[in-house]
Amino acid sequence: MKEEISIFYTPENRIEEYKALRLESLKNDPEAFGSSYDRAVNSDEAYWSVRALNSLVAECNGKFVGTCSFYSDEKYRKMRHIAHFVGMYVSPNYRGKGVATKLMKRQIDIIKAKNQFTKIRLGVGANQTAARALYEKMGFEYVGLFKNELFVNGVYLDEYYMELYL
């Protein structure tokens, strides 16, 4: 039997579930994110509320199993046309089941519907081969490599920047 996956914005009454998933992501895959578990776990309610309510989640059997989000730099007038895709994560037991593809497709549709963006930009660790394959499949192109971009557990990691032109 195929498990049904629903994609939606985090409801206000489920912020704690989102927080648990985000903390799981930072603990399981620290090299995949610019933020850290230590910083996030000590963040206040306001931080979690803003982050959760602006994030899509994937739900399966009543449980959040994936998430992603985007933001734009509204304060930088010359860059308002760029949507920044961030926070992509799928729990290990749900990987390889199309959850990330569904999340990405929905997020891209939302970004396109806003009619204010000409491209979507993201950063992905050079060692994140599954994520890079997903982004390539979704049409993202490599536009640069940042050497030693992240410092995680005493190791410098490179990060690719990729863009999807809308």
Is the predicted pLDDT of residue 2 greater than 90, yes or no? Answer: no
Cα distance between residue 54 and residue 71, in whole Å? 9
Q: What is the pTM of this model?
A: 0.93
Round to whole Å and give the CA distance between 48 and 164: 28
pLDDT at 1 over 70: no
Domains and CATH numbers, the chain: 5-165 (3.40.630.30)
SS3 per residue for the chain: CCCCEEEEECCHHHHHHHHHHHHHHHHHCHHHCCCCHHHHHCCCHHHHHHHHHCEEEEEECCEEEEEEEEEECCCCHHHCCEEEEEEEEECHHHCCCCHHHHHHHHHHHHHHHCCCCCEEEEEEECCCHHHHHHHHHCCCEEEEEEEEEEEECCEEEEEEEEEEEC
- Dump pLDDT digits (tens) for 30-67: 999 999 999 999 999 999 999 999 999 999 999 999 99
Confidence of residue 74 (pLDDT cuts 50, 70, 90): confident
Q: Tokens 């895959």, residue?
A: 29
